[in-house]
Structure 1
Amino acid sequence: MATKTVLEEDGTIKGFFDWVKQDGSTPFQPEAGRYHVYGQHLCPFANRVTIGQVIKGLESVISYDNLDYVLPEGPGWKFSPEKPGCDADSINGCSLLREVYDASAKKLGAKGFSGRVTVPVLYDRKLNRIVSNDSASILRMLNSEFNEFCATPAQAKLDLFPPALQSEIEEAEAWQTKSIISAVHGPAYAKTQEDFDAAIVKLFDGLDKAEELLSKQRYVVGKQITEADIHLFVTLVRFDAVYVHMKCYLKRVHRVIKVYETHQPLWYRAKTTPSGFPRSSWTRTDGIKSADLGLANHKIIELLWIVFSTVYIICTHVCVYTISDFIFFNSINKMQHLIYLFICKSKTMLSDSVYIRSTNP
């Protein structure tokens, strides 16, 4: 199970796949204050880990730095402490996450890192290197290897990957990944109408499957929350606010998926519930709404939305805005907020409240 980071034939490292293990089978033993997570709230994969930190009561055990919500082409993820909600690199003092990757690779005798720089990253302060950049693996480590450090006995007892359900969980995650998690990108990158039609059908067939499943049972697998629920949730919670601009607009997901009712404790602004759901502060819906729309490779789409929405508002007066809405326009994210406000408040496009809420009903 504990895959080891390997040196490629070209002398580089393309990914980090080590594991923190209680049994001493790896150099990475669980310790309070030893490990650190680099992430970004906009990223659904990084969100798996932040939810894991909260749901297992490890916020004070494993520290966290939040990177810039805009992903520049070229250098990739960067640290921007001057921006609200973004942190400096509190461990290594780097400007770019790539520097952390390269330094970790060289620590293992490699020329450098030649793979894709991604979040989340689990970093070892003691050995000064990355342990893993695989979100699914990191979530499992948080679930099973740090139980002695969990904030409460109930959180230590909670098992997101119980042995009796492991095969069912992995089967569920396989179809989730194929039909929903990866499929959300299909419509945006389709080059022909036929490709687009096929991608849309694949995605919404997957959502229909999730709807059918969750209409019969509260959780994806079994009678408790598992990692399969978290994997599905972090994509669904972004769907209506984000993936609409990736052409996934056939239906709004909160009308299709029962997870709107089932998993609402995952995103409501409340403390951890008795069943172990985390606070919504770690879902960071404000970051999702502005940051995901601010990805550098979607600037053209944003500009088109600005033009369209401005003309539409002027010509039809469909959208009604308040003074508080326009206060946001003083920020660097004014384009993204205009797009978001237009999508959410247009009576013809969306007639009811958005899926992601900032307060309890």
Structure 2
Amino acid sequence: MADDANPTTADDQSTAGSYVTPGTEFTRDDRYIATRITADGRDGYPVEAGRYRLVVSRACPWANRAIIVRRLLGLEDAISMGVTGPTHDARSWTFDLDPDGLDPVLGIPRLQDAFLARFPDYERGITVPAFVDETTGQVVTNDYAQMTLDMSTEWSAHHREGAPDLYPEALRAEIDEVALAVFKDVNNGVYRCGFAGSQEAYDAAYARLFSRLDWLSERLSTQRYLVGDTITEADVRLFTTLVRFDAVYHGHFKCNRSKLTEMPVLWDYARDLFQTPGFGDTIDFQHIKDHYYVVQTDINPTSIVPQGPDLSGWLAPHDRAALGGRPFGDGTPPGPVRAGEEVDPQHTADAMRG
């Protein structure tokens, strides 16, 4: 499945603070390391438990996809995970959450080090999520759109018992179609609003975003999930934007026709997923707000992080089960979050305090 030329998100750019070009429409860098980790190892990187480290930031919606998919499929034993801090400087995401500021497995202070280990003259954005080969310390790929699909299809031998099929073969064409529309108008649409360099560019992006959200509301008014009757890759991709909508996109990115809480169908849908194991337990609202409001200084030059909004409603009941559907199909929910990979409980308590 392609994501509109696999665009790089502004969350992941290596130059902190510079995102808006006056007078222009926001565009994205599509230059990714296209190497894949596959069951047959055709790109030189075979699927191998314990060999690769998934480097993520909980702030980034694109990395959040990989965190969710890894957890739903039960790949924790096969793929280790390193978590950067929520902010980055002009060079790279950094491991400032770890003791001495070093990733405990890779032994590096910056994700950039893994990119330069493989490509000494690397000049593109240092992006998350990224797979790093623990045996060499070199980055393998940062192609986030392909990474989650490969976790579903290439890593199946290492899935947990009862893992859901997030990319069922019979539904792939429809998943691809829906996910691409969601990407162009919603996942990318919020950035086209927030980083618009002209009124005309903003107005067009704003109209396109909310037209698609209205379309999604209509689609989800009669079915529990985006494609079929189970959670798929398409739901993961929409969720990571919706969960950030009121916290950052509504105000910071000027996506302010409606809050998510004012779009009843989408609000119920997002809460249904948030309360499903593997989704809400990956979300760190404090990291999300810190990233957008601190790093993106051309939008928020003071780097002041707002106290609001009230996020306690994420735990409120919803009626989505009345639409039927089986979240995990013939599978089962994932177990508790692995020790050491939990979201900071104080961050969760603060967000849900109301």
Structure 1 match to 2:329:
none
Structure 1 match to 2:132:
123
Higher relative contact order (CA 8 A, sep 6+): 2
- For the pair 1:250 / 2:254, whether they are aligned, the reply is no
Structure 2 match to 1:81:
97
Where does 1:105-184 land on structure 2 (aligned, <5 Å)? Answer: 105-106=119-120, 112-151=121-160, 153-155=161-163, 158-184=164-190
Distance 1:56 1:191 in 2: 40
Q: Select the structure that is richer in helix.
A: 1
Q: How far did 1:353 drift?
A: 5.2
* Per-residue deviation, residues 105-152 of structure 1 (Å, max 9, x unmatched): 24xxxxx2122111000112234422210112110121122222223x
Picking from 99, 106, 113, the partner of 1:92 is 106
Picking from 239, 254, 260, the partner of 1:233 is 239
Distance 1:257 1:105 in 2: 48
After superposition, the Cα gap between the structure-2 partners of 1:263 and 1:195, relative to the gap in structure 1 and judged at 3 Å, is closer
After superposition, the Cα gap between the structure-2 partners of 1:134 and 1:87, relative to the gap in structure 1 and judged at 3 Å, is farther
- For the pair 1:205 / 2:211, whether they are aligned, the reply is yes
CA contact (8 A) 2:58 2:288 kept: yes
Distance 2:91 2:298 in 1: 17
Equivalent residue letter for 1:254: T
Distance 2:185 2:110 in 1: 33
Structure 2 match to 1:185:
191
- For the pair 1:102 / 2:116, whether they are aligned, the reply is yes
After superposition, the Cα gap between the structure-2 partners of 1:179 and 1:218, relative to the gap in structure 1 and judged at 3 Å, is same
SS at match of 2:174: helix
Equivalent residue letter for 1:264: R
CA contact (8 A) 2:260 2:266 kept: no
Where does 1:1-361 land on structure 2 (aligned, <5 Å)? Answer: 15-72=32-89, 74-81=90-97, 88-106=102-120, 112-151=121-160, 153-155=161-163, 158-243=164-249, 244-256=251-263, 258-268=265-275, 277-278=277-278, 280-297=280-297, 300-302=300-302, 335-336=304-305, 339-341=306-308, 343-344=309-310, 355=314, 358=348
Q: How far did 1:266 drift?
A: 3.6
Distance 1:240 1:355 in 2: 11
CA contact (8 A) 1:143 1:161 kept: yes
Q: How far did 1:223 drift?
A: 1.4
Distance 2:315 2:206 in 1: 22
After superposition, the Cα gap between the structure-2 partners of 1:82 and 1:30, relative to the gap in structure 1 and judged at 3 Å, is closer
CA contact (8 A) 1:237 1:356 kept: no
CA contact (8 A) 2:242 2:270 kept: no
SS at match of 2:241: helix
Distance 1:43 1:56 in 2: 20
Q: How far did 1:248 drift?
A: 1.1
Equivalent residue letter for 1:54: R
Listed as ranges, the gaps of 5+ residues in structure 2 are 3-30, 317-347
Q: How far did 1:201 drift?
A: 1.0
SS at match of 1:154: coil
SS at match of 1:122: strand
TM-score (norm 1): 0.72
CA contact (8 A) 1:213 1:220 kept: yes
CA contact (8 A) 2:293 2:300 kept: no
After superposition, the Cα gap between the structure-2 partners of 1:231 and 1:257, relative to the gap in structure 1 and judged at 3 Å, is farther
Q: How far did 1:28 drift?
A: 2.0
Once the two structures are overlaid, the 10-residue window that deviates more, 228-237 or 120-129, is 120-129
Equivalent residue letter for 2:91: P
CA contact (8 A) 1:240 1:252 kept: yes
TM-score (norm 2): 0.74
Aligned-CA RMSD value: 2.8
* Per-residue deviation, residues 310-340 of structure 1 (Å, max 9, x unmatched): xxxxxxxxxxxxxxxxxxxxxxxxx42xx13
Listed as ranges, the gaps of 5+ residues in structure 1 are 3-13, 107-111, 304-334, 345-351
CA contact (8 A) 1:241 1:354 kept: no
